[in-house]
Amino acid sequence: MNGPTPKDLRGGIDLGGTKIQTVIADAGGQVFGEARHPTPTEGGPDDVARAMEDALREAASAAGVKPEALAGVGVGAPGDADGRTGVVSGARNLPGWEGSFPLGETLAKALGAEVRIGNDVQVAVEGEYSLGAGKPYESLLGVWWGTGVGGGIILDGKPWLGRGAAGEIGHTVVKRGGARCPCGRRGCLEAYAGRAAMEAKARREHAAGVETDLFKIMEKRGRDRLTSSVWEHALREKDPLTESLIRRAIRYLGTGIASACNLLDVEAVVIGGGLGVRFGERYAAEIEREMGKHVFVADDPPKMHIAELGDLGGAIGASLLVSN
């Protein structure tokens, strides 16, 4: 067989609030095996780590390789993910994960492989930069539109992490004293465009008597929250509350992204994330139009792209944390 030897292969794990996506890929991002498991909604970090181990083992078995034979495993984790220590703290979307947990060490022991930890959005943006929509550029801003609104920055060909927390475009302020954000502050971009905040707003409007099919669709699909696919179905049915909430999200996305571009003057913006990938193509022009109202260098705005690596992008990006 002329395929890659196990030492060329690395694991990638995208740890999300609803799913754990794993891949076995080579250095060029070609995928040889993948698995997707739901993220535990109860228990604590140990249970999440066990689910991650199971999902990685399933992908490895699909690729015909043992985890311990991999060059390593990269993890994109939410919250404060410390790449040097492998500790993940304050992952509030995950059960019982308000404190710190040595995720890198725990997974390394369980899998018998070296494990590297990175921020989920940052590794996904680096994946797009190396292998996807960001390939032609030396500087870009990634905006990951999903449950929250995350971001990642590449400047002069290198990730800009700041002191570890750069790229939080979701918590840049788009309206002083505005809507309450899941972070507890007011007026953040995420308070208008994050799926969790949009759901909270939809529930409030619904409780106040505004008619919407959002929750009927949610129940029909056996969900207990408004997933991206629920939003998409409601949009297809032209549900007015859905349309107005998405439109509001896009207005604020355009405002926040334009402000960030005025500061950084990057060559390109890449939109990713659950909602971004699902709605990006449809709304890219509208986001650009909203940006156009605020972009300072109006005759040469940054190029707008939708993430190309798709559903596996986060996991592929995580696999790139493993060096050759």
Touching Zn ion, residues 203-232 (CB under 5 A):
none
Nearer to Zn ion, 107 or 174 (CB): 174
Token pair for 195: 């799926």
Listing DSSP states for 209-237 in one string gives T---SHHHHHHHTT-SS--HHHHHHHHHT
Nearer to Zn ion, 181 or 316 (CB): 181
Shortest Å, Cβ 78 to Zn ion: 14
Touching Zn ion, residues 53-112 (CB under 5 A):
none
Continuous H helices in the chain: 45-63, 103-111, 120-131, 190-193, 195-207, 214-220, 228-236, 240-264, 274-292, 313-319
Nearer to Zn ion, 125 or 196 (CB): 196
Shortest Å, Cβ 290 to Zn ion: 20
User: Is-contact 250 290, C-beta < 8 A?
Assistant: yes
Token pair for 204: 């409030």
Number of residues counted as binding Zn ion (CB under 5 A) = 5
User: Is-contact 317 16, C-beta < 8 A?
Assistant: no
Shortest Å, Cβ 120 to Zn ion: 17
Shortest Å, Cβ 174 to Zn ion: 10
User: Is-contact 151 121, C-beta < 8 A?
Assistant: yes
Shortest Å, Cβ 310 to Zn ion: 27
Say if strands 100-101 and 73-77 run parallel, antiparallel, or are unpaired.
Answer: unpaired
Nearer to Zn ion, 159 or 178 (CB): 178
Nearer to Zn ion, 27 or 183 (CB): 183
Nearer to Zn ion, 185 or 293 (CB): 185
Touching Zn ion, residues 136-195 (CB under 5 A):
171, 181, 183, 185, 188
Say if strands 80-81 and 88-89 run parallel, antiparallel, or are unpaired.
Answer: antiparallel
Closest Cα partner for 183 from 219, 149, 132, 137?
149
Shortest Å, Cβ 93 to Zn ion: 14
Residue 201 to residues 185, 197, 242, 254: CA-CA distances in angstroms?
Answer: 16, 6, 11, 20
Nearer to Zn ion, 180 or 303 (CB): 180
**CA end-to-end distance (rounded Å), the chain:** 21
Shortest Å, Cβ 179 to Zn ion: 10
Residue ranges binding Zn ion (CB under 5 A): 171, 181, 183, 185, 188
